[in-house]
A and B are shown apart, each in its own frame.
Chain A
């Protein structure tokens, strides 16, 4: 009898070149995604007078610093223009394919990778970005790395890792209407905390996960890092194969058939053991929002802001008070009484076609009381949304239909929430200053952001969906 293995174990074993005496494994990298922020990796390669070992397995995408408006004009801010030009120069010099600012495939790296069929099951994928776990949705090991590791991968196509522990998060039951992957992901983080999965590779399993579309699984795995996980993944199945088939860089014909046969062997063996098990009942998950400055500060939208006076640990109480001060909230205030100044629909978390459809379903025929930006996850998502008429729904509601990029999720391309303003956002981090210095972020699903836009305050989207498809 061979030892039962998890999905993670199987892919790990396939990529382990060697295990050194110090316990670290040297892993082969199938795809290395880079973006404008990867420049420090190139700097280290240059410092060694070396070149990129496998440019054919390295893919450049411009997303972090690209403008989402007036793309036909030159970028006004020279420091931003330099960042966008730098990846053009670096990729050209090293013979790396770039989906740059003017490329019709341009978009956010974690949207474009799967969309182009570069991300497929069974691979090891790295990127100098913490949300790389997103790609695990297809049944790959996808790990976010730092700049030194980026340069290591550039030079060797390998990286060192200590094998993480295995965690399985099982979500059984069925989600209620208006509740999706974002609500599941935030509910998991609320349950286990932002370090709950530290040192673990997470496999999401259970009926509610199997029922998710690929877009939903990408959202779920995207947020694995916010629970502290090294990576998040979902076992490949028919949903995965159907998604991959026919995409530009995916295997074709007999190659594809052969790949599917391999991929069908990847799911965890039924008796495989996990170091940690967590379970949630999907039917108990409500539409959630964050109130504080950490993704673990998640509550159902019908709850109230916590009261520091009721927190036992004095340091923790001080931190809750600090978060409330930063967020401009009062203890025990009802979440649905929190007024918002603007909304943002975008990011590698929630800007795929399904996300835009979910927001549009709420906004259709309604007006937003506050301004906001809708930035599709990729230029191809943007085109598809326009074919479906979703752009018209957003603009008719009063929101701005923008180009694709990281935009207001990280606020380094100029799209920022002004100091002190409050934003209902489909993004992944409500950290202090994340969307701009002094910005106040509430995380939630695209449907919930749309509900906040229409009401001008945080709101439960479910009553707004009654009678709608």
Chain B
């Protein structure tokens, strides 16, 4: 099904938005009440739902994504510890379905970063000393260019390097699905399972 197909990522030049918050947890990215929504329905509207809209459903004017100039944003610049908390992959679905292809922060929740690569979303790590300038540049220019091969982000005249795990980078560049990689090791998995079963009989659940 195309819905789950990874798209390769090389370069992106798009509208960028700055979110000056630490510890943006995945409960903020997508509140739990939307977790029962099937992916096929699209989760873009649920992105940052309670930060974007008040309880009557009115957009909060001070939330950066609600700035009309940032409509169609594809790059999101955060601060420290983005995507912390719940393992909900729907947080990544909401970002991707909204149109975000790259999130930048000085650190990411581990599970979020893993979920990102499985959905073609680049989680780019920028050094503490660079993030402030990048946030300011994006606030001024409203755009960013992401080059995954070169591991750089450019906004206006400002260019910063970013880091990403090399294995994740390769998968993103090629749009490789993890399962396709695993399939080539099927024999080794089966051999391991047989050997392990003999070595650790106690590890099999009784009952």
Contacts and interface: CB of A to CB of B under 8 A. Distances in A.
Contact of A23 (B32, B167, B182): B167
Nearest to B207: A249
Interface string B161-204: 00001110010000000110110010011001100100011110
A262 interface: yes
A23 B87 contact: no
B80 interface: yes
A129 B32 CA distance: 13
A130 B35 CA distance: 15
Chain B: number of interface residues, binned into ranges? 35 or more
Interface string B79-119: 11100111111101000000000000001111100110011
Contact of B205 (A20, A31, A294): A31
From B21, B23, B28, residue with most partner A Cβ within 10 Å? B23
Contacts of B79: 315
B118 A146 contact: yes
Given A198-B110, A228-B109, A319 B22 contact: yes
Nearest to B183: A156
B71 interface: no
A79 B31 CA distance: 16
Contact of B114 (A26, A145, A226, A250): A145
Contacts of A59: 205
B23 A294 contact: yes
Contacts of A334: none
A110 interface: no
A315 B23 CA distance: 12
Contact of A160 (B22, B35, B107, B178): B178
Contacts of A22: 166-167, 170
Nearest to A79: B36
A155 B192 contact: no
B193 A157 contact: yes
Contact of A145 (B85, B87, B108, B201): B87
Contacts of B178: 148-149, 152, 160
Given A145-B111, A156-B179, A249 B202 contact: no
Interface of B: 1, 3-4, 20-23, 25, 27-28, 31-33, 35-36, 38-39, 50, 55, 79-81, 84-90, 92, 107-111, 114-115, 118-119, 165-167, 170, 178-179, 181-182, 185, 188-189, 192-193, 196, 200-203, 205-207
Interface of A: 14, 17-18, 20, 22-24, 26, 28, 30-31, 37, 40, 43-44, 47-48, 56-57, 59, 65, 79-80, 82-83, 116-118, 120, 122-123, 128-130, 144-149, 151-152, 155-158, 160, 162, 164, 193-195, 198-199, 225-226, 228, 230, 248-252, 255-256, 258-259, 262, 294, 296, 315-316, 318-319, 410-412, 419, 429, 431-434, 437-438
Given A59-B205, A122-B203, 8 more contacts: A28-B196, A56-B205, A146-B114, A149-B115, A152-B178, A158-B182, A195-B80, A294-B25
8 contacts: A28-B193, A146-B92, A152-B178, A152-B179, A256-B202, A262-B200, A294-B23, A319-B21
